[in-house]
Amino acid sequence: MLGIPGVDIDLGSYPPVVLAKAVSLKSDPLETAKWLAQAKPEIEHLLVKSGVVTFRDFALSNASQFDNFLSCFDGHRAGYAGGTSPRSKVAGRVMQSTQAPPDREILLHQEMAYTRDFPGRLAFFCEIPPRSGGETLIGDMRKFTAEVPKAFFDKVKKLGVRYVRRFRNPDWKPGHLDLDVLHRSWVDAFGSESREDAEAACRATGSDCTWTEHGMEASFTTPGYVTHPVTGEEIWFNVIPAFDLNAVSQGKRFQDLHEQYYGAAHPWPQAVTFGDGTEFLREEIEALYPIVDSVTTAPKWQRGDVQLLDNILTGHGRATFTGQRCVRVMLLA
Protein backbone atom coordinates (compact mmCIF):
# COMPACT_ATOMS: atom_id res chain seq x y z
CA MET A 1 0.00 0.00 0.00
CA LEU A 2 2.80 2.37 0.86
CA GLY A 3 4.61 1.62 -2.35
CA ILE A 4 2.47 3.48 -4.90
CA PRO A 5 4.87 5.64 -6.91
CA GLY A 6 4.24 9.31 -7.65
CA VAL A 7 1.99 10.04 -4.66
CA ASP A 8 1.93 10.55 -0.91
CA ILE A 9 -0.87 8.89 1.01
CA ASP A 10 -2.24 10.31 4.24
CA LEU A 11 -3.83 7.34 5.96
CA GLY A 12 -4.38 9.30 9.16
CA SER A 13 -7.23 11.42 7.83
CA TYR A 14 -10.82 10.51 7.01
CA PRO A 15 -11.11 10.12 4.13
CA PRO A 16 -7.53 9.08 3.36
CA VAL A 17 -5.97 11.48 0.87
CA VAL A 18 -3.84 10.37 -2.09
CA LEU A 19 -1.76 13.43 -2.94
CA ALA A 20 -0.14 13.73 -6.39
CA LYS A 21 3.60 14.41 -6.11
CA ALA A 22 5.09 13.47 -9.48
CA VAL A 23 5.21 16.41 -11.91
CA SER A 24 3.58 14.26 -14.61
CA LEU A 25 0.55 13.60 -12.38
CA LYS A 26 0.22 17.28 -11.50
CA SER A 27 0.48 18.48 -15.09
CA ASP A 28 -0.71 15.85 -17.56
CA PRO A 29 -4.33 14.56 -17.37
CA LEU A 30 -3.51 11.55 -19.56
CA GLU A 31 -0.76 10.47 -17.18
CA THR A 32 -3.23 10.52 -14.26
CA ALA A 33 -5.35 7.84 -15.95
CA LYS A 34 -2.31 5.66 -16.70
CA TRP A 35 -1.17 6.00 -13.10
CA LEU A 36 -4.58 5.00 -11.70
CA ALA A 37 -4.77 1.96 -13.98
CA GLN A 38 -1.46 0.77 -12.52
CA ALA A 39 -2.32 1.68 -8.92
CA LYS A 40 -5.84 0.24 -9.11
CA PRO A 41 -5.28 -2.92 -6.99
CA GLU A 42 -3.82 -0.86 -4.11
CA ILE A 43 -6.53 1.80 -4.43
CA GLU A 44 -9.27 -0.85 -4.37
CA HIS A 45 -7.67 -2.37 -1.29
CA LEU A 46 -7.71 1.04 0.39
CA LEU A 47 -11.29 1.62 -0.73
CA VAL A 48 -12.53 -1.57 0.93
CA LYS A 49 -10.62 -0.70 4.09
CA SER A 50 -11.73 2.92 4.45
CA GLY A 51 -14.82 3.06 2.22
CA VAL A 52 -13.68 6.31 0.58
CA VAL A 53 -10.51 7.79 -0.91
CA THR A 54 -9.75 11.39 -1.92
CA PHE A 55 -7.38 12.18 -4.81
CA ARG A 56 -5.85 15.66 -4.62
CA ASP A 57 -3.54 17.81 -6.79
CA PHE A 58 -3.92 15.62 -9.86
CA ALA A 59 -4.11 17.45 -13.23
CA LEU A 60 -7.90 17.33 -13.47
CA SER A 61 -9.92 20.40 -14.34
CA ASN A 62 -13.02 19.33 -16.26
CA ALA A 63 -15.61 16.58 -16.57
CA SER A 64 -13.93 14.82 -19.51
CA GLN A 65 -10.62 14.58 -17.66
CA PHE A 66 -12.49 13.26 -14.60
CA ASP A 67 -14.15 10.60 -16.76
CA ASN A 68 -10.82 9.66 -18.33
CA PHE A 69 -9.03 9.54 -14.94
CA LEU A 70 -11.42 6.78 -13.84
CA SER A 71 -11.48 4.93 -17.15
CA CYS A 72 -10.06 1.79 -15.50
CA PHE A 73 -13.25 1.58 -13.40
CA ASP A 74 -16.32 0.26 -15.23
CA GLY A 75 -19.40 2.48 -15.33
CA HIS A 76 -22.63 1.43 -13.61
CA ARG A 77 -24.45 -0.42 -16.37
CA ALA A 78 -27.99 0.58 -15.41
CA GLY A 79 -27.08 4.29 -15.29
CA TYR A 80 -29.38 6.70 -13.47
CA ALA A 81 -32.67 5.67 -15.12
CA GLY A 82 -35.47 6.22 -12.64
CA GLY A 83 -33.27 8.02 -10.15
CA THR A 84 -34.94 10.37 -7.71
CA SER A 85 -32.67 13.41 -7.85
CA PRO A 86 -32.91 16.12 -10.53
CA ARG A 87 -29.69 15.95 -12.58
CA SER A 88 -28.53 15.69 -16.18
CA LYS A 89 -25.57 14.35 -18.17
CA VAL A 90 -22.48 16.48 -18.65
CA ALA A 91 -19.96 14.46 -20.67
CA GLY A 92 -19.34 10.75 -21.18
CA ARG A 93 -20.31 8.99 -17.93
CA VAL A 94 -20.30 12.22 -15.94
CA MET A 95 -23.48 13.79 -14.57
CA GLN A 96 -24.32 16.89 -12.63
CA SER A 97 -24.57 16.17 -8.94
CA THR A 98 -27.99 16.98 -7.54
CA GLN A 99 -29.56 20.27 -8.58
CA ALA A 100 -31.64 20.42 -5.41
CA PRO A 101 -31.91 24.01 -4.10
CA PRO A 102 -28.81 25.25 -2.17
CA ASP A 103 -30.65 25.58 1.15
CA ARG A 104 -31.89 21.97 1.01
CA GLU A 105 -29.45 19.67 2.80
CA ILE A 106 -29.31 16.21 1.27
CA LEU A 107 -29.04 13.80 4.16
CA LEU A 108 -26.59 10.92 4.21
CA HIS A 109 -27.71 8.07 1.95
CA GLN A 110 -26.34 5.24 -0.18
CA GLU A 111 -26.93 5.94 -3.87
CA MET A 112 -30.04 4.35 -5.38
CA ALA A 113 -30.50 2.02 -2.41
CA TYR A 114 -34.20 2.26 -3.30
CA THR A 115 -33.62 0.25 -6.51
CA ARG A 116 -32.46 -3.21 -7.49
CA ASP A 117 -29.55 -2.02 -9.66
CA PHE A 118 -27.57 0.33 -7.46
CA PRO A 119 -23.99 1.37 -8.28
CA GLY A 120 -21.21 -0.40 -6.40
CA ARG A 121 -19.06 2.72 -6.35
CA LEU A 122 -19.39 6.43 -6.96
CA ALA A 123 -16.96 9.17 -7.79
CA PHE A 124 -17.40 12.90 -7.18
CA PHE A 125 -15.30 15.63 -8.78
CA CYS A 126 -15.04 19.21 -7.60
CA GLU A 127 -14.83 21.52 -10.61
CA ILE A 128 -15.73 24.70 -8.70
CA PRO A 129 -15.71 24.65 -4.89
CA PRO A 130 -18.61 26.58 -3.36
CA ARG A 131 -17.96 29.86 -1.54
CA SER A 132 -19.28 28.42 1.70
CA GLY A 133 -20.73 25.04 2.67
CA GLY A 134 -21.62 22.64 -0.13
CA GLU A 135 -19.43 19.81 1.11
CA THR A 136 -20.22 16.34 -0.17
CA LEU A 137 -21.08 14.85 3.19
CA ILE A 138 -19.73 11.39 3.84
CA GLY A 139 -20.35 8.85 6.55
CA ASP A 140 -19.05 5.44 7.58
CA MET A 141 -21.90 2.97 7.11
CA ARG A 142 -20.09 0.31 9.13
CA LYS A 143 -20.40 2.61 12.12
CA PHE A 144 -23.99 3.42 11.21
CA THR A 145 -24.82 -0.29 11.01
CA ALA A 146 -23.31 -0.88 14.44
CA GLU A 147 -25.35 1.94 15.99
CA VAL A 148 -28.83 1.28 14.56
CA PRO A 149 -31.08 0.04 17.40
CA LYS A 150 -31.01 -3.74 17.14
CA ALA A 151 -34.76 -4.20 17.52
CA PHE A 152 -35.38 -1.86 14.57
CA PHE A 153 -32.70 -3.45 12.41
CA ASP A 154 -34.20 -6.88 13.14
CA LYS A 155 -37.64 -5.59 12.15
CA VAL A 156 -36.21 -4.18 8.90
CA LYS A 157 -34.50 -7.52 8.21
CA LYS A 158 -37.72 -9.38 8.83
CA LEU A 159 -40.08 -7.15 6.86
CA GLY A 160 -37.86 -5.37 4.33
CA VAL A 161 -38.27 -1.76 3.23
CA ARG A 162 -40.75 -0.51 0.66
CA TYR A 163 -40.15 2.68 -1.28
CA VAL A 164 -42.85 4.47 -3.23
CA ARG A 165 -41.83 7.18 -5.65
CA ARG A 166 -44.50 9.26 -7.34
CA PHE A 167 -43.26 10.79 -10.56
CA ARG A 168 -45.62 13.60 -11.51
CA ASN A 169 -47.34 14.07 -14.83
CA PRO A 170 -45.27 16.48 -16.95
CA ASP A 171 -48.20 18.88 -17.38
CA TRP A 172 -48.56 19.44 -13.63
CA LYS A 173 -46.11 21.16 -11.28
CA PRO A 174 -46.43 21.82 -7.57
CA GLY A 175 -46.29 25.54 -8.34
CA HIS A 176 -43.25 26.57 -6.33
CA LEU A 177 -39.95 26.75 -8.20
CA ASP A 178 -37.98 24.72 -5.63
CA LEU A 179 -40.59 21.96 -5.51
CA ASP A 180 -40.93 21.99 -9.31
CA VAL A 181 -37.20 21.13 -9.50
CA LEU A 182 -37.24 18.54 -6.72
CA HIS A 183 -40.29 16.63 -7.91
CA ARG A 184 -39.32 14.90 -11.14
CA SER A 185 -41.84 14.05 -13.83
CA TRP A 186 -41.89 10.51 -15.21
CA VAL A 187 -40.80 11.93 -18.59
CA ASP A 188 -37.70 13.42 -16.99
CA ALA A 189 -36.94 10.37 -14.82
CA PHE A 190 -37.30 7.79 -17.58
CA GLY A 191 -36.37 9.86 -20.64
CA SER A 192 -39.50 9.19 -22.68
CA GLU A 193 -42.78 10.94 -23.37
CA SER A 194 -44.42 7.59 -24.06
CA ARG A 195 -46.21 6.01 -21.10
CA GLU A 196 -45.46 2.55 -22.47
CA ASP A 197 -41.74 3.25 -22.81
CA ALA A 198 -41.51 4.96 -19.42
CA GLU A 199 -43.33 2.04 -17.79
CA ALA A 200 -41.02 -0.45 -19.51
CA ALA A 201 -37.99 1.54 -18.32
CA CYS A 202 -39.40 1.62 -14.78
CA ARG A 203 -40.06 -2.13 -14.75
CA ALA A 204 -36.57 -2.73 -16.14
CA THR A 205 -35.22 -1.22 -12.91
CA GLY A 206 -37.08 -3.96 -11.00
CA SER A 207 -39.77 -1.61 -9.68
CA ASP A 208 -43.51 -2.15 -9.89
CA CYS A 209 -45.28 0.53 -11.83
CA THR A 210 -48.82 1.82 -11.60
CA TRP A 211 -50.50 4.88 -13.06
CA THR A 212 -52.64 7.28 -11.09
CA GLU A 213 -54.35 10.51 -12.06
CA HIS A 214 -51.22 12.30 -10.73
CA GLY A 215 -48.61 10.36 -12.68
CA MET A 216 -46.51 7.22 -12.28
CA GLU A 217 -46.08 5.41 -8.99
CA ALA A 218 -42.97 3.23 -8.82
CA SER A 219 -42.59 0.94 -5.85
CA PHE A 220 -39.84 -1.38 -4.83
CA THR A 221 -39.19 -3.55 -1.79
CA THR A 222 -35.63 -4.23 -0.63
CA PRO A 223 -34.18 -6.24 2.25
CA GLY A 224 -32.87 -2.98 3.80
CA TYR A 225 -29.33 -4.35 4.17
CA VAL A 226 -26.77 -5.98 1.89
CA THR A 227 -23.84 -8.33 2.22
CA HIS A 228 -20.71 -6.59 0.99
CA PRO A 229 -19.46 -8.48 -2.08
CA VAL A 230 -15.79 -8.37 -1.02
CA THR A 231 -15.78 -8.47 2.77
CA GLY A 232 -19.00 -10.40 3.43
CA GLU A 233 -20.04 -7.84 6.05
CA GLU A 234 -23.74 -7.23 6.61
CA ILE A 235 -24.28 -3.51 6.11
CA TRP A 236 -27.37 -1.32 6.61
CA PHE A 237 -28.35 -0.40 3.07
CA ASN A 238 -31.43 1.71 2.75
CA VAL A 239 -32.37 5.35 2.65
CA ILE A 240 -35.05 5.45 5.34
CA PRO A 241 -33.80 8.60 7.15
CA ALA A 242 -33.36 10.63 3.94
CA PHE A 243 -36.40 9.25 2.11
CA ASP A 244 -39.01 9.84 4.79
CA LEU A 245 -40.16 13.43 4.21
CA ASN A 246 -40.31 15.26 7.53
CA ALA A 247 -39.03 18.48 9.09
CA VAL A 248 -35.70 16.86 10.07
CA SER A 249 -34.94 15.09 6.79
CA GLN A 250 -35.79 18.01 4.53
CA GLY A 251 -35.67 20.99 6.89
CA LYS A 252 -38.57 23.11 8.11
CA ARG A 253 -38.80 25.34 5.02
CA PHE A 254 -39.23 22.39 2.67
CA GLN A 255 -41.58 20.61 5.05
CA ASP A 256 -43.74 23.76 5.18
CA LEU A 257 -43.62 24.06 1.39
CA HIS A 258 -44.78 20.46 1.01
CA GLU A 259 -47.64 21.03 3.41
CA GLN A 260 -48.60 24.23 1.59
CA TYR A 261 -48.29 23.02 -2.01
CA TYR A 262 -49.29 19.35 -1.69
CA GLY A 263 -51.23 19.25 1.55
CA ALA A 264 -53.64 16.37 1.72
CA ALA A 265 -55.00 16.98 -1.78
CA HIS A 266 -51.99 15.83 -3.71
CA PRO A 267 -49.81 12.83 -2.84
CA TRP A 268 -46.30 13.77 -1.75
CA PRO A 269 -43.44 12.73 -4.08
CA GLN A 270 -42.21 9.79 -2.05
CA ALA A 271 -42.90 7.55 0.93
CA VAL A 272 -41.15 4.70 2.73
CA THR A 273 -42.59 1.95 4.93
CA PHE A 274 -41.70 -1.54 6.06
CA GLY A 275 -41.85 -4.04 3.22
CA ASP A 276 -45.36 -5.17 4.14
CA GLY A 277 -46.65 -1.59 3.98
CA THR A 278 -46.68 -1.07 7.76
CA GLU A 279 -45.82 2.53 8.64
CA PHE A 280 -42.73 3.17 10.74
CA LEU A 281 -43.33 4.46 14.23
CA ARG A 282 -42.24 8.11 14.52
CA GLU A 283 -39.84 7.17 17.30
CA GLU A 284 -38.24 4.51 15.09
CA ILE A 285 -37.50 7.14 12.43
CA GLU A 286 -36.49 9.82 14.92
CA ALA A 287 -33.96 7.50 16.56
CA LEU A 288 -32.02 7.35 13.28
CA TYR A 289 -31.19 11.07 12.94
CA PRO A 290 -28.73 11.32 15.84
CA ILE A 291 -26.90 8.33 14.31
CA VAL A 292 -26.83 10.07 10.92
CA ASP A 293 -25.38 13.15 12.63
CA SER A 294 -22.81 11.17 14.58
CA VAL A 295 -21.33 9.45 11.52
CA THR A 296 -21.54 12.36 9.05
CA THR A 297 -18.41 14.36 8.27
CA ALA A 298 -18.00 17.27 5.86
CA PRO A 299 -14.53 17.34 4.26
CA LYS A 300 -13.81 20.65 2.50
CA TRP A 301 -13.58 20.48 -1.26
CA GLN A 302 -10.50 21.75 -3.06
CA ARG A 303 -10.70 22.48 -6.78
CA GLY A 304 -9.85 19.35 -8.77
CA ASP A 305 -10.46 16.89 -5.90
CA VAL A 306 -11.91 13.48 -6.69
CA GLN A 307 -13.67 11.40 -4.05
CA LEU A 308 -14.06 7.71 -4.80
CA LEU A 309 -16.64 5.96 -2.61
CA ASP A 310 -17.70 2.39 -1.98
CA ASN A 311 -21.48 2.92 -2.16
CA ILE A 312 -22.19 0.27 0.48
CA LEU A 313 -19.50 1.20 3.01
CA THR A 314 -19.83 4.97 2.70
CA GLY A 315 -22.95 7.12 2.59
CA HIS A 316 -22.93 10.55 1.02
CA GLY A 317 -25.04 13.69 1.05
CA ARG A 318 -24.74 17.40 0.37
CA ALA A 319 -24.45 20.29 2.78
CA THR A 320 -26.28 23.54 2.11
CA PHE A 321 -24.18 26.18 0.37
CA THR A 322 -23.92 29.69 -1.00
CA GLY A 323 -22.41 30.85 -4.28
CA GLN A 324 -21.67 28.80 -7.34
CA ARG A 325 -20.96 25.10 -6.83
CA CYS A 326 -19.94 22.67 -9.52
CA VAL A 327 -19.53 19.09 -8.33
CA ARG A 328 -19.84 16.25 -10.84
CA VAL A 329 -20.65 12.63 -10.21
CA MET A 330 -20.09 9.28 -11.91
CA LEU A 331 -21.84 6.04 -11.05
CA LEU A 332 -19.47 3.08 -11.23
CA ALA A 333 -19.84 -0.68 -11.12
The residues that touch Fe ion, with contacts defined as CB under 5 A, are: 111
DSSP assignments along 124-154, one per residue: EEEEE--SEE--EEEEEHHHHHHHS-HHHHH
Which residues, 6+ apart, have CB-to-CB distance to 112 below 8 Å? 80, 83, 118, 119, 331
Q: Are 214 and 172 in contact (CB under 8 A)?
A: yes
* Min dist. Cβ of residue 41 to Fe ion (A): 27
DSSP assignments along 239-253, one per residue: -HHHHS-STTTSHHH
Q: Are 281 and 240 in contact (CB under 8 A)?
A: no
Q: Are 328 and 96 in contact (CB under 8 A)?
A: yes
Residue 255, H or E segment = helix 251-261
Phi/psi region, residue 84 (left: phi>0; alpha: psi -120 to 50; beta: rest), is: alpha
CB burial of 52-73 (b: ≥16 within 10 Å; e: otherwise) equals bbbbbbbbbebbebbbbbbeeb
3-state DSSP: the chain helix, strand, coil percent, rounded to 5? 30, 30, 40
At 202 the three-state DSSP class reads helix
- Compute the distance between CA of residue 200 and CA of residue 191 in angstroms, rounded to an integer: 11
Q: Give the residue ranges of DSSP H helices in 5-90.
A: 23-27, 29-50, 63-69
* Min dist. Cβ of residue 56 to Fe ion (A): 22
Q: What angle do CA 274, 241, 126 make, to 5 degrees?
A: 135
Nearer residue to Fe ion within complex by CB, 107 or 202 = 107
* Min dist. Cβ of residue 161 to Fe ion (A): 17
